[in-house]
Structure 1
Amino acid sequence: MRPWPFLIAAAVLASSCGGGDDDDDPDVTFFVSSATSPTGNLGGLAGADATCQRLAGAVGEGGRTWRAYLSVERGPTAQPVNARDRIGPGPWHNVNHELVARDLAELHSRSGDAAVFLDERGQRINGQWTGSPTPVEHDILTGSKADGTLQPGATCSDWTSAATDVTAQVGHSDGLGPNQNATPPLSSWNSAHTALNCSNTAPRGGAGRIYCFAP
């Protein structure tokens, strides 16, 4: 009996079927933008989407369509747009291929987490987490309620305004408030509180970042 041809064939088959760990990794479909904005004027939904697409492309993830997680009061059809309706059904994974949420229900019932809500380069967002650099920048623009629907009057005029008389709803990417308070609404990744106004995203702990999803 000569087992060697059989063993060699089996090894080749196993190698071709295994594909390596990289082939088994889920697609990257979520990140927090590394790009910041000093005001709430993001160029509207189109400008925010373009930012997500550009950042994804810079790290080799531009092969799919990316959308900003933002709600507006007047969308392309002159009707309100909910952020949750822009991002597909899930699941979503971060740049480390870690699960963010399996579906919309799970996404909108979870809290922020500095170790999961990473930017497209895999970096944590400055926040209230232990050891975080300063300044705090965990306020992420969303214009949304906790369920992902529009928060009226809190979208910086649909992300086109840098005025002092309008504001935006923001979430905490790390799910933490002052003194690491992790109770709602401070734990919310998408609807923790309103920004001071749209002329400056820094007060109260922001930098004008957005969430990016690939549906």
Structure 2
Amino acid sequence: MREVSGSQDGFGGDLRFGETGPGAGLRGADKICATIAEKSLPGAGSKTWRAFLSATAGEDGKQVNAIDRIGEGPWYDRLGRLVANEKAELLNTRPSKADAAIMNDLPNEDGVPNHQPDPAQPEVDNHDTLTGSNPQGQLQGANATCKDWTAKTGDRSEGTPQVGHSWPRGTGGGPGGGLNFAHWITTHNAPGCAPGVNLVDSGGPAPGSNTVGGGGGYGGIYCFALTP
């Protein structure tokens, strides 16, 4: 994401990537997915890619739910390991039938555990992944999408984007339920939509933080191809 954005802070909540008009944030995010896929495996960018993102309005002005964007499965990672056969398996705290090697550490575009993208370096705290979605993969709310993935000033009027955890940050729970810090789709809101990267385990965002990475991440997104 940093390389493609041309910034060490990444894209933030603005994923338009040169797209304009209604639905530009989603279309741009899909282009980002295709661009990154091509960098990882030449030829893979020609597949039809969809970012797992919800929005209040797509090209037709209607609500868009991430779960409706990604086809019916099955889905595999870069190394051919199963992520899920169908949507019912995806819609769990962790994909229920995923290969054991990746279930609790969903890999990046190279098939490398997101928790430790450089095997020669220590683990990093980059669990937060933008989705704008609730546990059913549907729109979390109007303030959860950085103005449908077009905003990045960090002003609270843009909302605070909903994130899931690519690897479990903890179990959460407690009296009354509480947060489920293991959920890959939805856990909490990032502190803001501004670009920003935080890879240090700091126990949460720093006071005053307004970035997509403030709680531990780099503004990453999940990418699905409509065909394996």
Q: Specify the TM-score bucket, using the shorter chain as the normaliser.
A: 0.7 to 0.9
Q: Does 1:196 align with 2:194?
A: no
Secondary structure of the 1:62 match is helix
Q: Does 1:39 align with 2:39?
A: no
Contact 1:114/1:125 (CA < 8 Å) preserved in 2? no
Q: Does 1:169 align with 2:183?
A: no
Q: Which residue of 2 aligns with 1:125?
A: 114
Give the deviation of 1:206 after TM superposition.
Answer: 1.8
Higher relative contact order (CA 8 A, sep 6+): 1
Mapped to 1, the partners of 2:66 and 2:101 lie a distance apart of 21
TM-score normalised according to structure 1 size: 0.75
2:38 to 57, 73, 90: 57
Mapped to 2, the partners of 1:46 and 1:52 lie a distance apart of 10
Mapped to 2, the partners of 1:172 and 1:50 lie a distance apart of 22
Matches within 5 A, 1:34-183: 37-43=10-16, 44-58=25-39, 59-60=41-42, 61-111=44-94, 115-116=102-103, 117-126=106-115, 133-152=122-141, 153-162=143-152, 163-165=154-156, 166-174=159-167, 176-177=168-169, 180-181=170-171
Flag the structure with higher helix content. Answer: 1
Mapped to 1, the partners of 2:214 and 2:101 lie a distance apart of 20
Aligned alpha-carbon RMSD (Å)? 2.6
| Identical pairs, percent | 39
Mapped to 1, the partners of 2:224 and 2:70 lie a distance apart of 6
Mapped to 2, the partners of 1:197 and 1:213 lie a distance apart of 25
Give the greater-gyration-radius structure (CA).
1
AA of the residue aligned to 2:130: L
AA of the residue aligned to 2:45: G
TM-score normalised according to structure 2 size: 0.71
Mapped to 1, the partners of 2:101 and 2:3 lie a distance apart of 14
What 5-or-longer segments of structure 2 have no aligned partner? 17-24, 174-178, 195-210
- Tell me the alpha carbon deviations over residues 138-181 of structure 1, each in whole angstroms, 9 at most, x when there is no partner: 1000000011000112001100011320110000001x12xx43
Secondary structure of the 2:45 match is coil
- Tell me the alpha carbon deviations over residues 40-75 of structure 1, each in whole angstroms, 9 at most, x when there is no partner: 111111111100011111212123111111000011
Alpha-carbon distance change, 80 to 38 in structure 1, aligned in 2, over 3 angstroms = same
Structure 1: 4+ residue segments shifted above 3 A: 32-36, 131-135, 180-184
What 5-or-longer segments of structure 1 have no aligned partner? 1-31
